[in-house]
Structure 1
């Protein structure tokens, strides 16, 4: 097939099912819904790690976190492991980025010819305090992440609008290019702070929204690994009341609609520039958001709210209006970009496959998606394997979880303790250990993090070092 351009739009912290095209009854996402109608939506898409920096490092390289050792938000991608931007540029494909990348720094040799409005980990060091895991502090104190919730215009909102406008200009400037190009557009929404322009918040009345499911106050008992995370930093206690919980959900929904508006602006510029028929469009997010379920906010868990991501692919030769149940991951993006631009995939290592090819094939529900977590709030590693039927959580030193996501998409019923599922459980653990040595990866992560902590003067100094909350963006 003739090579195409690729427009790759990545948001931050967009829960996998919060799109109209995914069947959500409330959310308003007309631009993403139209993109899904024009292409294929993968309903079983996952992140390789439910936290920003490791997820983006895996996405950049098409390899898993334990392979590239970018464990947490202080150990970012620096270009030392070859990634798709380097492969594309070496193959002569014009490759540029606009917006958030969250790599180590703009000086890192990651392969882009130019980075517009680049956002990377703050000062090249990120959240050093989050690397203190061996042992981990009992608590980091009250969470400040949700102090601001409600109508307004944040620096993040202004940044996303600027990124979208710049992407529109870029597309117009390159409308006449003969050779294929790749443009990465990194938006921040719906990442906290949960502050959003009033016009979008007015779409959702907090009083009409249900409270998040499975709150511990209703008798739900969290898994011990999750409970330890909650003790480390209790976002739900900081949010406080049911009224603020409903407002937080409304603001998140509104940020998704705000994000959709920016995506719509970029897709309109693509269409107006006459590039629709020669461009593959990919939309996804780096991870999801727990959004109050189980009394947990932010990300960092193995449940689908956190590990699931939206994945839409549209373009020449890709089936329109299709929903594929093949499990896929952000590690598949690299192969997709190389295949669509006509580059040689045999030059790369990793578990990925082209999403465009997978979209054209029959659903492979037996394919596995993998995720892992070695970062802030976890005393031990957590791993996830999912096919089109079951989803398995392996917590080092603790009991596992197993969910039938085909029949129980909300993951309400843990099947791991049931004798009828012992064979399924054992099969998943066997497949996990064929992919990674769970104990060895946990030890490697802690050794790397211990060395990092010592390089900043030891435990007490490291706990005071690094950005305390979200990474700041350039302000005009």
Structure 2
């Protein structure tokens, strides 16, 4: 079986029609969900581009591979699943943004329009946290325009061309990893898609301004400078974000239609997901970098000839589970170093993952003075901060995460259980210090390089 993996950037899980969003229009993703299985508890392993994509590429957690922030792009070490599959006779092609080190092949030998983005040294300046330069202008510039169209259309056409080239002459399975940069900032949506969302009809962020104080979230709010925005700007950011989501949905529809017309759909697994979400002003926060559902939660839809149709699953899934899933689909045994587990049989309706399984995500970059660690297990989400109070949310009773239960005595045993689960998987305090030490070292080198010019 082949795999068509489509990954966008910064698409929050709830921003789809099939997720029940009252405003966002995603007819092609909705149709993909009807043809396949949608996962409602899918997460990234770090809510930031480079750490998330490096973790996904290697099938390993961030603290194992030490790609902490957006200043250190993945360089191909440790080995990627692209290299692993290529060595076993599977053709792997990438199209669009990777956010890897552009001077390396990263194990993905055939990269088309890779659109690598530059290093971001902001993640090296965490002691103390600094306000991000020109952060506020990113909200103020939101609106209508053609910024994304040319590059995105090139990527879509490249995917269609690849599918056409494979039709009728396939000798071995292939994996096409198609990456779209929208709906990532800047929030500039093509006019015809922006106009689908009149500003007076889009929803406003909730918990804005936030009713709950937490020191780590205050650091992020100050860093991204997104407080006290006019209602007109808040509505414009939402209209533009939703327009970008619908625009990418349209591109996905074109690629899936080409796959179906080629005759390859009957032997191809389709996966749609994103590298992380987007807070979009909820909780008075923007971009990603936090462990709220809008940031760490991701959409994940799978469709194909063996996948259960029109199914919705709550099984706990994260991006590191994708590498072994892709490998199983193309008939290759997983690499023993991968820390995830294939969920192909779950999508086929043959298996359930018990709610007792936990998901780990972590963050070590700009906007916070110390790391953030999340354990999602069953109905509860536990968030640990090495230097700040922990948080606990009951996502069944409180899906908007408005009521922190960490100081409620009735939940002390649950906190103890989830903290023990975190410690079982990672030493958060030691990892936090390791990340900070690495960033201090790179900051010194960065300052020295600036001073030498």
TM-score, normalized by length of structure 2? 0.96
What aligned pairs does 1:284-299 form with structure 2 within 5 A after superposition?
A: 284-299=273-288
SS of 1:50's equivalent? coil
Distance 1:193 1:253 in 2: 13
1:141 CA drift (Å): 4.7
Match of 2:114 in 1: 118
1:51 aligns with 2:40: no
Deviations 1:2-47 (A, max 9, x none): xx00000000000011111111122110111111111111100001
TM-score, normalized by length of structure 1? 0.91
1:196 aligns with 2:184: no
Distance 1:38 1:387 in 2: 28
1:422 CA drift (Å): 0.6
1:357 aligns with 2:357: no
1:138 CA drift (Å): 3.9
1:137 CA drift (Å): 4.2
Match of 1:25 in 2: 22
SS of 1:208's equivalent? coil
Deviations 1:291-345 (A, max 9, x none): 1111111111111110000011111222111111111101011001111000111
Distance 1:94 1:270 in 2: 17
1:457 aligns with 2:447: yes
- Are the equivalent residues in 1 in contact too, given 2:39–2:312 (CA < 8 A)? yes
In structure 1, the gaps of 5 or more residues are 466-476
Distance 1:341 1:381 in 2: 37
1:211 aligns with 2:192: no
1:142 CA drift (Å): 4.6
Distance 1:406 1:457 in 2: 47
Q: Structure 1 residues 48-57 or 365-374, which shifts more?
A: 365-374
What aligned pairs does 1:175-254 form with structure 2 within 5 A after superposition?
A: 175-176=167-168, 177-216=170-209, 220-237=211-228, 240-254=229-243
- Are the equivalent residues in 2 in contact too, given 1:94–1:113 (CA < 8 A)? no
Match of 1:473 in 2: none
In structure 2, the gaps of 5 or more residues are none
Number of residues of Structure 1 aligned to a counterpart in Structure 2:
448
Match of 2:151 in 1: 159
Deviations 1:223-243 (A, max 9, x none): 110001112231345xx3111
SS of 1:413's equivalent? coil
Distance 2:389 2:421 in 1: 17
- Are the equivalent residues in 2 in contact too, given 1:150–1:251 (CA < 8 A)? yes
Deviations 1:140-168 (A, max 9, x none): 355132242111110x3321121011101
- Are the equivalent residues in 1 in contact too, given 2:324–2:338 (CA < 8 A)? no
